[in-house]
Amino acid sequence: MADPVRNIYAALDSFSQPWSPRRLASVNDYDVKLFKAQGEFTWHSHPDTDELFLVISGRLVIQMHDADGGDMELGPGDVYVVPRGVEHCPRADGEVSALLIEPQGTVNTGDTPSERTADLRELEG
């Protein structure tokens, strides 16, 4: 049986590819995912679910369409929930490490498949 304790920092050190999420854990019907970001992602929305972002390191800008308050800039320790159906596009001007919580089976590019669409991968070890 794999060790039930996972360290976020060790997990982040195990991969380097940006915009390629890794499953850290599952809770009920939700996945806790880690990802690294660099550059701009793709504009998309998730019509059926909210999406929680927690920045671990770096600065992540979540560009938003149709949202009060405009773009959201997140730094280490900041949490933001993108409401379901809101078109958004994460952007990292430098390297960012972050955590996502969303329902199992949620596609990273939501309703807009693109070259950035990635299968959820399991962490090594």
CATH value at residue 89: 2.60.120.10
Please tell me the predicted confidence (pLDDT) of residue 31.
96
Instruction: Note whether residue 113 is domain-resident.
Output: no
Query: Could you tell me if residue 55 is inside a domain?
Result: yes
> What is the DSSP code (8-state) at residue 114?
-
Q: What are phi and psi of 12, to 5 degrees?
A: -65, -35
DSSP helix/strand/coil, 12: helix
In a domain, 117, yes or no: no
- Decide: 22 and 118 in contact? Cβ < 8 Å: no
- pLDDT, tens digit, 9 for 90 and up, residues 26-38: 999 999 999 999 9
Residue 10 phi/psi, 5° resolution? -65, -40
What confidence score (pLDDT) does residue 1 get? 43
Q: Is residue 68 part of a domain?
A: yes
Residue 125 placed within a domain: no
Helix H or strand E segment including 85: none
pLDDT in tens, 83-112: 999 999 999 999 999 999 999 998 888 888
| Mean of per-residue pLDDT scores for the chain | 91
Report yes or no on 114 lying in a domain.
Answer: no
112 within some domain:
no
Instruction: Find the domain containing 62 and state its range.
Output: 8-107
The answer on pLDDT for 44 being more than 60 is: yes
| pLDDT at position 124 over 80 | no
In a domain, 24, yes or no: yes
Q: How many domains does the chain have?
A: 1
> How many CB atoms within 10 Å of residue 70?
9
Residue 8 has pLDDT above 90, yes or no: yes
pTM of structure: 0.90
Are β-strands 30-40 and 60-64 bridged in parallel, bridged antiparallel, or unpaired? unpaired
